[in-house]
């Protein structure tokens, strides 16, 4: 399909984020990896040190005729705490930051509007600290990280570190 677009999100550990976002109708494919750092290459061991400044991210290919970027942002903000800098639950460090890596000026505008709207509600106890970073490079994560939940639990239930809140 030539009409697919890409979105890249960091919301903590990428396993649960990939599973949840990958199940949204209109999301055609997902890959986990690393983006937004200063290192010229990246791998899991290096990213875990925090020194590469890369975030764990999920890159989506999606059909905008089925799901819009704005709708994807709604899921994104429902599945993690966007008010904690460099932390999701027990996971701490810059690799776990809440981040949107925008692929176009339209995505940047939509993300800014979404954050502004959410900050004006009482849905969060603090201000959203999600970083808006221009997408430059995506470093594909290791094979064992790709579709982790599908491989580990063969589509069945299993523990997951993310869940969708009903508050959006």
Catalytic residues: 13
Question: What are the tokens at 89?
Answer: 């639950």
Q: Where do the DSSP E strands lie in the chain?
A: 5-11, 27-35, 55-62, 87-88, 91-92, 98-102, 131-134, 139-140
Q: d(Cα 152, Cα 147) in Å, to the nearest integer?
A: 9
Backbone torsions φ then ψ of 7, nearest 5 degrees: -135, 145
Token pair recorded at residue 130:
């999600």
The most distant pair of C-alpha atoms in the chain lies apart, rounded to whole Å, by 41
Strands 27-35 and 55-62, sheet pairing:
antiparallel
**What SS3 string covers 90-119?**
CEECHHHCEEEEECCHHHHHHHHHHHHHHH
């Amino acid at each position: 399909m030539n009409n697919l677009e890409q979105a890249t999100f960091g919301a903590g550990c990428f396993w649960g984020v990939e599973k949840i976002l990958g199940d949204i109708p209109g999301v055609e494919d997902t890959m986990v990896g690393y983006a937004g750092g200063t290192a010229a290459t990246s791998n899991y061991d290096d990213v875990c040190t925090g020194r590469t400044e890369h975030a764990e991210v999920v890159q989506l290919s999606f059909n905008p005729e089925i799901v819009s970027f704005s709708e994807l942002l709604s899921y994104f903000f429902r599945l993690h705490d966007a008010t904690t800098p460099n932390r999701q639950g027990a996971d701490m460090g810059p690799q776990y930051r809440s981040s949107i890596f925008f692929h176009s000026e339209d995505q940047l505008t939509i993300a800014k509007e979404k954050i502004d709207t959410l900050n004006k509600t009482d849905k969060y106890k603090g201000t959203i600290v999600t970083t808006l970073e221009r997408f430059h490079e995506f470093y594909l994560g290791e094979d064992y990280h790709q579709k982790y939940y599908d491989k580990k639990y063969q589509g069945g239930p299993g523990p997951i570190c993310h869940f969708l809140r009903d508050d959006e």
